[in-house]
Amino acid sequence: MVAGIAQVGFSDSLRNPARVLFENALAGLYKLAAVDLVREQIEGALGADMPYDISNDGLLVWPGPAYTVEVLYPLKTDAATIDATARSGLPAKPLPPLQARAISFRHQSLAWSEWVYAWTADTGKDPPRLMSGPSLIPSLVTPTPAPVKAVAAQSMP
């Protein structure tokens, strides 16, 4: 099962500690739902601009223009590091190996006791972040507005 947040909403306005609490709640929900992969973690490992898809064979990546090169990261492995294998064409530069734990939510541990503690910990302290690596919550990248040009005021006739 693959999970992800399709559209950034209110979560982008959350700041710590509320953001950490929301991410912890989401991690617990994902674990209860037996999620295997989280899109935000995959994009954090590959880079947000890398096109990819998930197939029965594994994680397919197209590292180049026009989707002419296809690379596979097999996901059905117990290896800690997953190497890329070119399926068609050759990438301009070799793709780095991925840490299985960074892209496979299923392999990230989250004990019930840790999750409960995150909600019952001392309220005077910030809650602990339960997941390591990229956040489960996407960030909305707000474009920098163009500078406003000063315009001389004109009086009406």
pLDDT digits (tens, 9 = 90+) for 66-100: 899 999 999 988 889 999 999 988 888 889 999 98
DSSP assignment of 13-79 equals: G--TTHHHHHHHHHHHHHHHTT--EEHHHHHHHH-TTS-EEE-SS-EEE--SGGG--EEEE--S---
pLDDT at residue number 140: 54
Positive/negative CA dihedral, 123, 10, 19, 24:
positive
User: Binning pLDDT at 50, 70 and 90, where does residue 36 land?
Assistant: very high
Percent of the chain with pLDDT strictly greater than 70: 86
Rounded mean pLDDT, 124-137: 84
* Residue type at 52 in one-letter notation: Y
Q: What is the pTM of this model?
A: 0.78
- Examine the pLDDT at 65 and tell me if it is beyond 50: yes
Q: Mean pLDDT of all residues in the chain?
A: 83
Whole-angstrom Cα distance, residue 115 to residue 129?
A: 10
User: Binning pLDDT at 50, 70 and 90, where does residue 142 land?
Assistant: very low
pLDDT at residue number 121: 66
pLDDT at residue number 82: 93
